Amino acid sequence: MRKLIVVSSLMLLAIYTQAQSETTTKTTTTPAGVEKVDLKEALAQKKFQENTEITDTKLKAESGSLSTYSLSLNLTYYGPTVGDLSAKDQPNPDGSPGAFETSLGGALGGRYRFSPRSTITAGSGLKAIHPFHGMEKFETNNPYINYNLSDRIGDVQMRNSIGFSSITYSGYTKIGEIASLGYDNSMVYNLGFTPLAIGLDTSIAYYFYNRGYQSSDGKASRYTISAYPNAKYNLTDKLNINTSIGFSSFNLRKLDDQSVLGNRSITQRLGVGYAYTRDVYLSPYLNFYPDNLSPDGTTINFSAILSVL
Kindly give the confidence (pLDDT) of every residue in the chain, 309 residues in length, as a single tens digit, with 9 standing for 90 and above. Answer: 444 344 344 444 443 444 444 434 444 444 555 556 565 555 454 789 999 999 999 999 999 999 999 999 999 999 999 999 999 999 988 888 777 889 999 999 999 999 999 999 999 999 899 988 888 888 889 999 999 999 999 999 999 999 999 999 888 999 999 999 999 999 999 998 899 999 999 999 999 999 999 999 999 999 999 999 999 999 999 999 999 999 999 999 999 999 999 999 999 999 999 999 999 999 999 999 999 899 999 999 999 999 988
Pairing of strands 156-166, 103-113: unpaired
Measured over the CA atoms of residue 77, residue 78, residue 81 and residue 86, the dihedral's sign is negative
Q: How many domains does the chain have?
A: 1
Position 36 scores a pLDDT of: 61
Q: What is the pLDDT of residue 29?
A: 47
Would you state the pLDDT for residue 100?
86
CA distance 75 to 68: 22
263: in domain: yes
In a domain, 59, yes or no: yes
DSSP 117: S
85 with 295: CB under 8 angstroms?
no
177, part of any domain: yes
Residue 140, pLDDT score: 86
- Give the separation between CA 232 and CA 269, rounded to whole angstroms: 11
Q: Provide the residue range defining the domain that includes 160.
A: 2-19+29-308
The pLDDT of residue 46? 74
Residue 34 and residue 28: Cα distance in Å, rounded? 6
Bridge partner list, 96: none
Domain containing residue 38: CATH number: 2.40.160.40
Model pLDDT, residue 169: 87
Write the DSSP string, 198-220.
Answer: EEEEEEEEEEEESS---GGGTT-
Beta strands in the chain (DSSP E): 25-30, 33-38, 69-81, 103-113, 118-129, 137-153, 156-166, 177-190, 196-209, 221-234, 239-252, 262-263, 267-277, 280-288, 299-308
Residue 297 included in any domain? yes
pTM attached to this predicted model: 0.82
Does the residue 24 lie in any domain? no
3-class DSSP assignment, residue 118: strand
**Would you state the torsion angle of the CA atoms of residues 93, 96, 97, 103, taken in this order, to the nearest 10 degrees?**
-40
Cα(first)–Cα(last) distance of the chain, in Å?
Answer: 23
Q: What angle do CA 55, 57, 244 make, to 5 degrees?
A: 110
Residue among 257, 256, 232, 252 nearest 242 (CA)? 232
SS3 per residue for 1-62: CHHHHHHHHHHHHHHHHHHHHCCCEEEEEECCEEEEEEHHHHHHCCECCCCCCCCCHHHHHH
